[in-house]
Amino acid sequence: MTIQAAFAYIIHTISPLYDNREAANIAHIVMEHITGMSRLDRVVYKDRPLEAPQQQQLETALQALLRKEPVQYVTGSSWFYGLEFTVSPDVLIPRPETEELVSWIVEELQTAGRETAHVLDIGTGSGCIPIAIKKECPSATVWAIDVSVGALEIAALNASKLQQAVHFEKVNILEETAVENLPLFDVIVSNPPYIRQEEQADMQQQVWGFEPALALFVPDQDPLLFYRHIGALAQHKLQAGGTLYFEINEAYGQEVITLLTAQGFREPTLRKDIFGKDRMVKAFR
C-alpha cells in the first residue's frame, strides 16, 4: 500500500464516524505519525509503499479510531502552544481555549515585568499549562500539582522532553492538610474539573469514553467544588497582590465571580474565549 493509498484508506474507513473534513484531518495526523513525514513530503513521495511495520501501525490505529478513540491518544501526541506534548488516557487532551488562558497569563507577566514570578498550576494533567508558561517566561519558578500519579508521570515526561524545568508534586487540593507545605506564589492558575455529570449526555463519546473522568466531572449538586477549594488555598498560598486565574464552565461565569468576591478576592474579571463563551476568570488577592 502506498502513502497516497493509505491516506485514502483511512478516510474511507472512518468516514461513517466523521465528516469529510474531520476525516481528512485525522488521516493527515495518523499518516504523519506513521511515516514521520510532513504533509508536503507525503505529496512528493505519495507513491512510496508503506513498510510492513507501518502497515501494522495503520491497522492498529484504524481499529482504535473505529472505537471512537481520540486521534491524540492513538498517536500519543497533541500540540499545545506550539509544543508537541505526549498524551495518554491519564490526561486530558489540551484544548485551544486553554491556550488562551496561557496567553493571558504570559502577556500580563511580560507586560508587568514579572517574568521571575513564582507560578503554581493546580490539576496539571499533561503539564501543558506550566510548561508553556515556563517556555515563554524562562526566569519564572514554576510548580505544578495533581492528584493523579499517571498524570504526573506524563507531565514530568513532557517537561523533560521539552527541556523545561517545572517542579511537580502529588497533592490533593481537596485535603486541607495536603497543601500546607506548599510555598507562596505570585500566580496560581487552574483548569479544574468543571463539567457536571448530567452534561455527559451532551458530550461526544470521544471525550467521555476515553478522557479521564477524574479531570472532567464534578458532582451535579456542587459544580463549584474545585473553585471553592482552590480559592481558599489561594488566600493562604498567594502573595498579597498576587493573581488567580481559572478556566471555567461557560454556564458558571457569574457564579465564579460571586464566589471569588465572597472569598475576598479583588477585581474579579470574566473573559470570553475564541468561541464567544465565558471561559476564563482572573482575580487579585
- Whether residue 138 is contained in a domain is answered as yes
The tens digit of pLDDT for each residue in 122-174 reads 999 999 999 999 999 999 999 999 999 999 999 999 999 999 999 999 999 99
Claim to verify: residue 57 and residue 133 sit in the same structural domain: no
- Whether residue 72 is contained in a domain is answered as no
- Whether residue 73 is contained in a domain is answered as no
Average of per-residue pLDDT values in the chain: 93
Closest CA relative to residue 208, chosen from 196, 226, 221, 219: 196
- Whether residue 27 is contained in a domain is answered as yes
Termini Cα distance of the chain: 61
The span from the CA of 218 to the CA of 194, in Å, is 6
Give me the phi and psi of 236, to 5 degrees please. Answer: -105, -30
Dmax (CA) of the chain: 65
Claim to verify: residue 136 and residue 111 sit in the same structural domain: yes
Mean pLDDT of 167-192: 93
- Grid coordinates standing for 133? 508558561
- Whether residue 26 is contained in a domain is answered as yes
Amino acid at 138: P
Number of domains in the chain: 2
Closest CA relative to residue 226, chosen from 202, 203, 206, 244: 244
Claim to verify: residue 224 and residue 178 sit in the same structural domain: yes
C-alpha dihedral sign at 45, 49, 52, 57:
positive
Claim to verify: residue 61 and residue 91 sit in the same structural domain: no
The tens digit of pLDDT for each residue in 34-83 reads 999 999 999 999 999 999 999 999 999 999 999 999 999 999 999 999 99
The span from the CA of 218 to the CA of 106, in Å, is 28
The span from the CA of 84 to the CA of 128, in Å, is 9
Host domain of residue 26: 3-67
Q: Tell me how long the chain is.
A: 285
Claim to verify: residue 149 and residue 32 sit in the same structural domain: no
